[in-house]
Amino acid sequence: MAKTGENIYKRKDGRWEARFISSRKPDGRAKYTSIYARTYTAAKAKLEERKRMIVSRPTGSCRLTVKELFSCYLSQAEIKPSTRARYIFLIEHHILPELGSTFIASLTANRFSDFLNRKRKSGQLHGGGLSAKSVRDIGVLIKAALRFASAEYHFYCDALNVKLPAAKQRKIEPFSARELAQIGKALLPSANYKDVGILLSATGGLRLGEVCALRVSDIDFQAGTVSIVREVLRIKVGEKTQLVVQTPKRESSIRTVPLPNDMMACLKRAVSGLPENAYVLTGQADKPMEPRTYQYYFASVLRRCGLKRRCYHTLRHSYATQCIEKGVDVKSLSEMLGHADITTTLRLYVHPSMDNKREAVQKISFLGGVA
């Protein structure tokens, strides 16, 4: 709800959003820019500061270098700690060494494209080219900073028109229904609070970081649901890494997921006796599960079941595929997975089995047994 007379709102994720008119579109309509803060007071202060900058800033051209632009962007943008750590690494190691002293006014579309092509061919720190995904990440970051410059200084850069390379999607082979049953058979009889994370991802599509951050208080046994309101990530800070617990990056990831009755019964047994504020996978209030440690544990479960090694995220893909094959509509599945739209669900998470393909083609046969 907005504060009276102000364009400041409290979002579902708890942050405050302040909106202001940063420019006008060619048809005269207002173009709004949002800024974010953790409190109303901080949001209002940022909004007032931004309005003062609008009054005094130059228009038409911008004498900022790429290095200066990123300094402004990182100091003013509301960015999650994990994202900020990734951005800083890309900026310091891949962007500033080549473009740091470049004025953004001279960063043309051709120069930007040439820069990305060089990264693709020889962008690694120790030789060799970067992956399409890494090049795309660098391009997305530079474009985000240029859009920031556009809003802040009424400056337009034609590098924003450059089409970024598509990241090659890693092929994931989901678990079959038989393989999921094997995993369930291995864990269910004596499932403790450490085991239920794997079962939660298989029956609810939870991400690894979401499972590691789940607390007992997030479980609603009466409604048969779990609430996803945080995630655990390991990020790089300087030369070291640290574990952080944060709200999910996207608002759509904050969600309530229904679970099967047998999963809820298993969950109730596993967390029995744990305090409300305890993390489900560790049983401790002040120590979430380390995602890498849980990856290793999942690998040991697969070995125990005689299944080939696959990444933890395969459970989420398997859940999506099983839901589609059981007739769950795509819109509902998309919301349960925490996707912003169904396109992501259909493009990345649905893997029809060969049995389902065979069943589908039989439905369209017109030969009627005459062959």
Q: How do residues 176-197 score in pLDDT, each as one tens digit? A: 989 999 999 989 887 788 889 9
pLDDT in the model for residue 295: 94
Is residue 173 scored above 90 in pLDDT? no
The pLDDT tens digits of the residues spanning 246-267 come to 888 788 899 999 999 999 999 9
Mean pLDDT of 30-54: 79
Mean pLDDT of 63-68: 87
pLDDT in the model for residue 30: 63
Q: Which residue has the higher pLDDT, 51 or 336?
A: 336
* pLDDT class of 359 with cuts at 50, 70, 90: low
* pLDDT class of 298 with cuts at 50, 70, 90: very high
The pLDDT tens digits of the residues spanning 309-351 come to 999 999 999 998 888 888 888 888 889 998 887 777 777 766 6
CATH number of 59-168: 1.10.150.130
Lowest mean pLDDT among 26-40, 66-80, 112-126: 26-40
* pLDDT class of 354 with cuts at 50, 70, 90: low
* pLDDT class of 122 with cuts at 50, 70, 90: confident
CATH number of 177-358: 1.10.443.10
pLDDT in the model for residue 59: 40
Please, what is the average pLDDT of the chain?
A: 83
* pLDDT class of 371 with cuts at 50, 70, 90: very low
Is residue 205 scored above 90 in pLDDT? yes
pLDDT in the model for residue 288: 94
The reported pTM is 0.66
pLDDT in the model for residue 220: 95
* pLDDT class of 38 with cuts at 50, 70, 90: confident
Domain ranges of the chain: 1-56, 59-168, 177-358
